Each structure stands twice: as structure tokens, then as C-alpha cells.
Amino acid sequence: MSDARLVSQSPDETRRLGQRLGAALRPGDVVLLAGELGAGKTVFVQGLARGLGFEGPVSSKSFVLLGEYAGRVKLYHADLYRLDTPEQAQDLALEEVCADGALAVEWPERAEYVLPQEHLWVQFQVTGENSRMLRLEARGERARDLLNSITQHLATRHRGV
């Protein structure tokens, strides 16, 4: 399977979905999180960090572009919302950074050209006050494994094309 749609009815559910994926993350893995303001990208990253065994807080958009959470493996968290120039994105050297950890990027649309081509793309859509649709698309073999790890024990009604 290389794509799936998941429905979340609460922030906790989104966090749990992230947690399941976080438990499967390895160094070198890249998760790109796209979608409008308040769609739930950071909530999902909180789950990723928890799934990796990180116990501390994961903050929402701050003035730093890059956060680092050390759990079972390291998770790098970039938020490109405030990116001004393409050079700034280059300077982050995201591709090198994620060599020793997993990388989660919010607002990847702002710098797609500097992001690794193999990744799991998660597109968030606000479908109601507390509901969100997550469309996951795997680019590359490793991303397909990650996708399977998050979808394999979900009910069929949540799976899809």
C-alpha cells in the first residue's frame, strides 16, 4: 500500500496516530506534514515524539526552525512556516541533519526542493471542529513500510484509497 486515508475525531486520536508512527521511526526517516494553520500537524508531531520515547514537551511553532527530541532515536522537528528565503532552507541542511535521526517537517511546501525525495507525506485537512482527514502518501520503499506500520491494525473503514 502506498497511500491511505485516516480519520481523526479528536486531538488525542491524532496524537495516537502519530505515536504509532513514532514507534516505527528509524534514523533517516522523513515525515512531511502539510495542511492549513491549526490542522493538527504539531499535535501529530507530539505523538511522533511520544512514540519514540520522548517524554518532554513538543512546542508549537516557535521562532526556532528546528527542535530536537531525544528518545529511542532522535527526532528533528522543523517548521518552515517562517522561512523567508530559499537560502534559509538550504542553511538548515535538513538532509544531512536527518542522517542521525528521524525528521518531521511542518509546512514542507515552503521548501520542497531541499527536502529528501523519499518521505512519508501526511496531508491534513480540517473536516470539522474536532475532525481531521489525514491523507498519507508514501514516497519510497521505507516510507511504504512506515505507512503500513500506521495502518495495519486499523479498521477497514478507516483504510482506503
> Does residue number 29 form part of the binding site for ligand ATP (CB under 6 A)?
no
> Segment 59-88, which members bind ligand ATP (CB under 6 A)?
60-61, 81
Which of 42, 151 has the CB closer to ligand ATP? 42
Query: CB 107 → ligand ATP: shortest distance, Å?
Result: 6
Sheet of 132-139: strand order equals 3-8, 132-139, 119-126, 30-34, 101-106, 74-79, 66-70
> Segment 43-102, which members bind Mg ion (CB under 5 A)?
60-61
> Does residue number 38 form part of the binding site for ligand ATP (CB under 6 A)?
yes
Question: What CA–CA distance (Å, rounded) separates 156 from 46?
Answer: 26
Cβ neighbours, 10 Å, residue 153? 7
> Does residue number 41 form part of the binding site for Mg ion (CB under 5 A)?
yes
> Does residue number 131 form part of the binding site for ligand ATP (CB under 6 A)?
yes
For 35-97, the three-class secondary structure string (H helix, E strand, C coil) is: CCCCCCHHHHHHHHHHHCCCCCCCCCCCCCCEEEEECCCEEEEEEHHHCCCHHHHHHHCHHHH
Which of 34, 52 has the CB closer to Mg ion? 34
Query: CB 141 → ligand ATP: shortest distance, Å?
Result: 28
Residue nearest ligand ATP, Cβ-based: 40
Report what 11 binds from ligand ATP, Mg ion, none; CB cut-off 5-8 Å by kind: ligand ATP
- Spatial CB neighbours of 139, under 8 Å, sequence gap ≥ 6: 117, 118, 119, 120, 121
| Residues near ligand ATP (CB under 6 A) | 8-11, 13-14, 35, 37-43, 60-61, 81, 106, 130-132
